[in-house]
Amino acid sequence: MLRLAGARLLDDRDYPAVRAALAADPVGSCMVSARVEAAGLDPWRLGGELWAADSRPVRAGRLQGLCFSGPNLIPLRGNAPALRSFADRALRRQRTCSSLVGPAEQVLGLWDELEDEWGPAREVRGDQPLMALDAMPLVAADPLVRAVRPDELERYLPAAVAMFIEEVGVDPRSGDGGASYRARVTELIGAGRAFARFEHGEVVFKAEIGAMSATVGQIQGVWVHPDRRGDGLGTAGTAAVVHRLVRGLGRTASLYVNAFNTPALAAYRKIGFKQVGQYATVLF
């Protein structure tokens, strides 16, 4: 079977075409847009590579495929031949990404190309509604949810670890003793993008603004203490983070959630989120 030569590494000549591609779907591309806006296309500053299926720089017009390769592999657009070219390039090296994530059609299509070499996956989450809200929440925001202060790291970190284990299924402290995860949480707190409600010194609700582009902020890590679930803390707390994004930061609030998580879906819809796309995640 004839295979494509592989995807092309993008460089500064491709920046206008990349920005146009990302702007065409600002919610779906938020994770990549945030990196490109901050770092450009240089792989060292970007923390990964951007690939295209086109054989040469696109002076004008539309990129036929676009994929970010870094801590996660994020295919944003591309037909079957484009996804095959991304797979060809990915398979030239040892896998280092922890997941494939992004628009479901591209993620699942790329996984079809990679599974024989990279499988089996630890889990495939093929139906994750991508949701957005660009107006104020429809429910009252919890006034006790606030940005976490740097001196509260030690109180916040156990809740962040508990959320990660519950959501992803692995302990983020494994491997390096939690140093890299701690550094990431510290970074989010320092940027004012980690939020919590504390009761008697303990976190009972938490959420973060993970990726944030010029127009969109992606909410992640929503968690309620097991003893307080069913009290409405998740809905009111998430509404507080939406309020911060929309009113305070002038961004559209976005998030994605597993379709089987019906309580979370109901809460987000109550807040006012609407589905704007479908994501999928392949976890390793």
pLDDT of 59 > 90? The answer is: no
Helix (H), strand (E) counts: the chain? 9, 12
Picking from 63, 75, 85, the residue whose alpha carbon sits closest to that of residue 2 is 85
Length of the chain counted residue by residue = 284
| pLDDT tens digits along 173-228 | 998 999 999 999 999 999 999 999 999 999 999 999 999 999 999 999 999 999 99
| Residue 206 confidence (pLDDT) | 98
| Residue 2 confidence (pLDDT) | 38
| pLDDT tens digits along 228-274 | 999 999 999 999 999 999 999 999 999 999 999 999 999 999 999 99
Architecture of the domain made up of 146-277 = 3-Layer(aba) Sandwich (3.40)
Every domain of the chain and the residues it spans: 8-120, 146-277
**Percent of residues, the chain, with pLDDT higher than 70:** 96
> What value does the mean pLDDT of the chain take?
94
Of 51-60, 170-179, 215-224, 275-284, the one with minimum mean pLDDT is 51-60
Between the CA of residue 177 and those of 142, 154, 171, 172, 182, what are the distances in Å? Answer: 34, 15, 10, 8, 9
Categorize the per-residue pLDDT at 62 as very low, low, confident or very high, splitting at 50, 70 and 90.
confident
What are the respective helix, strand and coil percentages of the chain, to the nearest 5?
40, 25, 35
